[in-house]
Amino acid sequence: MRTRIGFLAGATLAALLVVGALSVASGSPRSHPRMWGLQPGVAPHKAAVPHAEGTTQLVLFTRHEHAVDVDEPPAGFSQGDESSVSAGLWSPAGQRVGLLDAAGTITTVNQQAHVARVQFTFTATVRGSQITATGILIGSDAVHGFDAAVTGGTGKYRGTEGEVHVQFLANNSSRFTYQLAS
């Protein structure tokens, strides 16, 4: 769980995912995506960016995600292991707008098939208001992201519902595309 992944295997959840060649414990810069909470050879299934008529789209980016993994018994990458991720949030224009906090737990691991499931809950704090989402990152030998349900918000986002697509990018970064309805 503390090794690099050639993408779609790490988070994860942190995720995010979660973002290629995972070395979560080291926090070293990476040139390819790192998946939140997943180990090498396990990659998130492809997820499409949600599009819903009558919703507001909010796009945010993380930079320099910091992740910490906890290896619960039994030793090694297994069910019950946990991952937490934190990062600054940036607008598409490059302005710092907030923080991301994410926590995930591995719920299923199939080492032989290189498949894992990680349940993530994450909160984007944007200019003092929060948007919280929960989703399952399904790791396999596929693409770089997952979708999550927006479960609530505070301040400007109170009463908000919708979906968010998390896409893992290079250099410990992720893109969050929210489709929000109030």
pLDDT of residue 31: 38
Is the previous residue joined to 12 through a cis bond, with omega within 30 degrees of 0?
yes
Instruction: Give the burial class of 29: count Cβ atoms within 10 A of its Cβ; 0-12 exposed, 13-18 middle, 19 or more buried.
Output: exposed
Cβ proximity of 148 and 138 under 8 Å: no
What domains are there in the chain, each with its CATH number? 43-181 (2.40.480.10)
Cα separation, 4 vs 68, whole angstroms: 14
pLDDT of residue 36: 52
pLDDT of residue 140: 73
pLDDT of residue 51: 53
pLDDT of residue 171: 82
* Residue carrying the six token digits 């396990």: 42
Q: Write down the pTM of the prediction.
A: 0.72
Cα separation, 20 vs 170, whole angstroms: 8
Walk along the chain (182 residues) in steps of 10 and give the mean pLDDT of each run.
28 30 31 45 44 82 93 92 96 96 95 89 97 91 83 96 93 93 84
pLDDT of residue 17: 29
pLDDT of residue 52: 59
Residue 38 phi/psi, 5-degree rounding, is -110, 155
Find the radius of gyration of the CA atoms of the chain: 15
List, in sequence order, every residue forming a beta bridge with 58; answer none if it has no partner.
178
pLDDT of residue 2: 30
